[in-house]
Chains A and B, each alone.
Chain A
């Protein structure tokens, strides 16, 4: 809290690592809200970004509690408006549209009901369907702001139902004057969406990125484009549709095309002042000077533009017809496209904007079919805008199946700071926080910013409720490691199996295991099957395996929870970086132990990764190995953190790889884990590990009451005010 206050005072950015379950969200919310109340001029808004919808809901619950407390203590209504925002899929209350499952389809259908031209058509002809909720909102909602309070997604929906206003647009409209906004990262980081949703958030806001350990990957993903052959085929189809519509329109209503042409001459800036609902297609971050410029003449008329698009698509198709891997810079690509099909850089830059404008003019209401074309247009714009920090890789086949031709063009962002830069520049304070951010000094480097505060907090606990251990060898003294040279070794696999069996026999309820990759998981499980280890394991617990299929995995998860609940006990085998390792909590009995088999290094043969490593080395002086270790350790920590979700929780963390005990790996674990990782627990064999587990589990099972925590991790008001405690706090404050 103290650190946060300093950051707020300094109006700078900060990086905080706080263990999960220690009240991270509450701390952030309560201090920032208090700060907002005390200095209403310096700080006007809190933007809280989280990862998933359930996490957003959790934040809203915390906020509601805080507000209730304020109300109780101050005895009056608080003039603070907090709301959550999510995609149309989660907020739509239209009777038929909301039934759709896929986000894209919902967006498309919503657009087809609410776009300005559709509504104009509706005014002329009642048969054209529109969304009554949007109409309701448009007619009345804008004048009446939402009354102060805390609204989560369901509240918004309910409010929308009673007033018959569209909750999605209501929320989007309300963002401008809400005090606290909670939404997903993408609304801020993905330039395509940020432009629409977050444009009007004032500078004097605090932005909090929660669970931000993967923020650099989010940044990179939002700027990268992947083009496959199928996508290009779809593009060709869409272009034909465009062509026919244009020719139709030319016969019927050529005025409109002329109007558009004129507008384009005047400059793009005016074109963007369209209605908010038309903003379904937006250009990726364009330097603002481009918007001031007029669209170049070559693509100003609709036919010319379509022909231009065709040429681009055909060109990319020819590029995909390669037999070997090609890697080139955006500059090289531009030169090539210029010599081969005579396309200049400048028109390419405007592709995305021009396409959006064309679709608007043509009044195409179903956008879903055009998404491939939009992707290509984004690619064109990005490739011509940025020459630094990106690379183009064309692979004729996948590494796993070298015989099957499946050409893919990756346009990959190498510099995660590009996407996040506008955020850092625009807002006075950006707080990046997560349970696992160690090593902290890597983030400022790769995100290219200068934090004023950078701290890692530990937990104050009444009992040692985590037990991290590094198991480096089996009972037969063969070292355990997932190193490339030894990973196929039967002795290593057998030792891993024995470790799991013995731990499963000693630990109650649920155990989660993480492997380094799906491939490794498969080979290990099949050889365990041959060695009879699976049979032994099933004597103690049921076995569940995460697969790449999301539906299968969620079914496995449901049954896993069931098996843990009724006392049978279960083991879940999953993969670091998989769905399970991110965002699914195994609290209390669901995860009494986490086993990490091997160090989860990213697949180093990937060309994209190699390009990124090279870039990092050249631009930020980060050695490849440092980054790889950093990345592996943060994923390992993330996996380990799954089992600890609060102060009353307890869990064993087993790191089964010899390499973990090296100083360079160990020191990269979060401080709150390192603190409990004693030297005596660093180089254990399977047997020793099980012995320690047993003793520790018995200790943890002893009754743990609230009184035991009092005075250590829980303070009463009197204790807090006591002189001794005040002294301690003061000491800590000065010490930092």
Chain B
């Protein structure tokens, strides 16, 4: 709660809030229950948004992020400027993106002066993207953006990606106008034909063409209210989207490099695996390149990498570790939303955190499978972070069933 307050704008910047209008007295003339109810409802609403049923998800994503760098990105309605704020949030996004979608790739484009520029190519290395984003901070924002040019460019990059991956474009659009060389409707059509989903986040107001693009290509269109909301909107894009129609299923070749022990005892593995070598992620930047025994070797060609997941630069194999794949797993089987119940006298403690239920909180939550009852905070924690129900996991029967 505390950090939420920090991200709010200053009092003199915000409008009048008629906080008293939302409050109503209950039958005893008390406000307490009402306030608690309000808080709980807001929390549940957010959680409910995320709980979607199990569908086929595009786990392997190819995403282009288009950042508007036109003159209007210098406006200061997001602090310090729109552009810096967006870049900052994008860093977080890139990090989260690779965390949750380890086998995906990302590229960054900017658009200004009616043109579009490529900052990074589609790649699976998050360090490079973050570095590029940090360099972007010095870029001067000028001119008008061009939606069409940037979409065309992103489309050219995505066109040749394999059919089993989900192709996406995320546009962060601050301007209210776009300066296009031709008919944008044609671009929309070819985007649709290529099965590319375009999601747009507007930074100022609803622009119709953006809504149209998002609607026609099956993406989402959102407009922020403040920077906190923007963060939420950007991070929403981290979740892999549901697949539209049926994508062809195919086997993807992947490499699982063995872990390198920090202390090399030289007995268990062959010595060649841990011979000191330059890692390929840093070989281009001379200063930071390290020669050492640590890192992961590609099982196919033997190149050394210091971080996973990554796409092998030599042979193009996707290198991941098993936990990465496991982490993407919960997207496929999200836990079912818990049922809201009125608190009865029988259960006095939350199953998860073992705290006694407070009088003020009238609602508790029950898991459908194991019938354990948890409090609101635990419900949210399970949904957002754990992704498993502690009740089901601790019960041998249901835990067994789930793995089956």
Chain A interface (Cβ within 8 Å of chain B)?
505-509, 539-541, 564-569, 588-589, 592, 680, 694-695, 697-703
Chain A residues near B180 (CB, 8 Å)?
566-568
B259 in the interface (beta carbon within 8 A): no
Shortest beta-carbon distance from A380 to chain B in Å: 56
Shortest beta-carbon distance from B335 to chain A in Å: 24
Complex alpha-carbon distance, A541 and B175, angstroms: 11
Contact of A564 with B144 in the complex, beta carbons under 8 Å: no
Chain B interface (Cβ within 8 Å of chain A)?
15-16, 72, 77, 144, 147, 176-180, 183-185, 202, 204-210, 222-225
Complex alpha-carbon distance, A506 and B180, angstroms: 20
Contact of B144 with A567 in the complex, beta carbons under 8 Å: no
Chain A residues near B16 (CB, 8 Å)?
680
Complex alpha-carbon distance, A703 and B15, angstroms: 21
Q: List 9 A-B contacts (CB under 8 A).
A: A506-B205, A508-B176, A508-B177, A508-B205, A566-B180, A566-B209, A695-B15, A697-B206, A699-B225
Given A567-B178, A568-B178, A701-B223, A508:B207 Cβ within 8 A: yes
Supply 15 further A-B pairs (C-beta < 8 A) apart from A564-B208, A588-B208.
Answer: A506-B204, A509-B176, A509-B207, A541-B177, A566-B180, A567-B177, A567-B209, A589-B207, A592-B205, A680-B16, A695-B15, A697-B206, A698-B204, A698-B205, A703-B222
Contact of A565 with B206 in the complex, beta carbons under 8 Å: no
Which 7 A-B pairs give the minimum distances between C-beta atoms? Answer: A567-B209, A701-B223, A589-B208, A697-B205, A701-B206, A508-B176, A508-B207
A569 (CB) vs chain B CBs: closest residue: B177
Contact of B225 with A509 in the complex, beta carbons under 8 Å: no
Chain A residues near B176 (CB, 8 Å)?
505-509, 540, 569
Chain A residues near B77 (CB, 8 Å)?
694
Shortest beta-carbon distance from B8 to chain A in Å: 14
Chain A residues near B205 (CB, 8 Å)?
506-508, 592, 694, 697-698, 700-701
B147 (CB) vs chain A CBs: closest residue: A567
Chain A residues near B208 (CB, 8 Å)?
508-509, 564-565, 567, 588-589
Q: Specify which of B178, B183, B204, B222 is in contact with A697 (CB 8 Å cutoff).
A: B204
Chain A residues near B185 (CB, 8 Å)?
566
Q: Is the interface of A mostly helix, strand, loop or mixed?
A: helix
Chain A residues near B202 (CB, 8 Å)?
701
Interface-central residue, B179, B183, B185, B208, by most chain A CB under 10 Å = B208
Complex alpha-carbon distance, A105 and B179, angstroms: 46
A699 (CB) vs chain B CBs: closest residue: B225
B178 (CB) vs chain A CBs: closest residue: A567
Given A695-B15, A698-B223, A568:B204 Cβ within 8 A: no
Q: Specify which of A541, A680, A700 is in contact with B206 (CB 8 Å cutoff).
A: A700
Chain A residues near B210 (CB, 8 Å)?
567
Complex alpha-carbon distance, A520 and B15, angstroms: 36
Complex alpha-carbon distance, A251 and B306, angstroms: 117
Chain A residues near B225 (CB, 8 Å)?
698-699, 702
Chain B residues near A541 (CB, 8 Å)?
177
Complex alpha-carbon distance, A568 and B175, angstroms: 10
Shortest beta-carbon distance from B78 to chain A in Å: 11
Contact of B204 with A508 in the complex, beta carbons under 8 Å: yes
Complex alpha-carbon distance, A539 and B223, angstroms: 23
Contact of A568 with B177 in the complex, beta carbons under 8 Å: yes
Complex alpha-carbon distance, A540 and B179, angstroms: 10
Chain B residues near A703 (CB, 8 Å)?
222
Shortest beta-carbon distance from B86 to chain A in Å: 15
Complex alpha-carbon distance, A695 and B225, angstroms: 8
Contact of A540 with B177 in the complex, beta carbons under 8 Å: yes
Chain B residues near A589 (CB, 8 Å)?
207-208
Chain B residues near A680 (CB, 8 Å)?
16
Shortest beta-carbon distance from B364 to chain A in Å: 25
Shortest beta-carbon distance from A708 to chain B in Å: 12
Chain B residues near A539 (CB, 8 Å)?
144
Shortest beta-carbon distance from A233 to chain B in Å: 52
Complex alpha-carbon distance, A680 and B223, angstroms: 26
A678 (CB) vs chain B CBs: closest residue: B16
Chain B residues near A702 (CB, 8 Å)?
223, 225
Complex alpha-carbon distance, A569 and B208, angstroms: 10
Given A508-B176, A566-B184, A694:B144 Cβ within 8 A: no
Complex alpha-carbon distance, A702 and B210, angstroms: 14
Chain B residues near A567 (CB, 8 Å)?
147, 177-178, 180, 184, 207-210
Chain B residues near A697 (CB, 8 Å)?
204-206, 223
Interface-central residue, B202, B223, B224, by most chain A CB under 10 Å = B223
Complex alpha-carbon distance, A703 and B224, angstroms: 11
Shortest beta-carbon distance from A373 to chain B in Å: 53
Chain A residues near B206 (CB, 8 Å)?
508, 697, 700-701
